[in-house]
Structure 1
């Protein structure tokens, strides 16, 4: 079952990392449902082939740029009456 799902996602052109995350989520859901460990060996082999084919086709891994914080909204001088200090949360 998992192998067919990985093949389907690969045929749709999904990125290997996306397929890997979907397969991991499927395995966790399977285990959480009390069905035991999902056999993913064959699906992982299909994913490795897709990853290799994607690299051979010139598809590069896209990486998000680092988050740069220029001015934090919270400073040690935040008054005690601020919502952040009342809830203990920093967001």
Structure 2
């Protein structure tokens, strides 16, 4: 993941990157979401997690994060990210 972010010049836009295999865990383990919040210094109750899988990403809601699940659509075109931007701006 980090290699791809760097390759596309996105690494400077990312404050932290929690990768499941580095943590010895995988979603829906809530500890992954809590680690990301801790690394960011963010209160989980004031954090928005955007995902696309209600089972794997829904665990974020179980540990207190506000959670927005994108519609299960083909991975091309508009998937609802404009809605996310309206939520945070």
- TM superposition score category, shorter chain reference: under 0.3
TM-score normalised according to structure 1 size: 0.27
TM-score (norm 2): 0.27
Q: Which is helix-richer, 1 or 2?
A: 1
Q: Could you say which structure has the higher strand fraction?
A: 2
Q: Which has the higher contact order (CA 8 A, sep 6+)?
A: 1
The higher radius of gyration belongs to 1
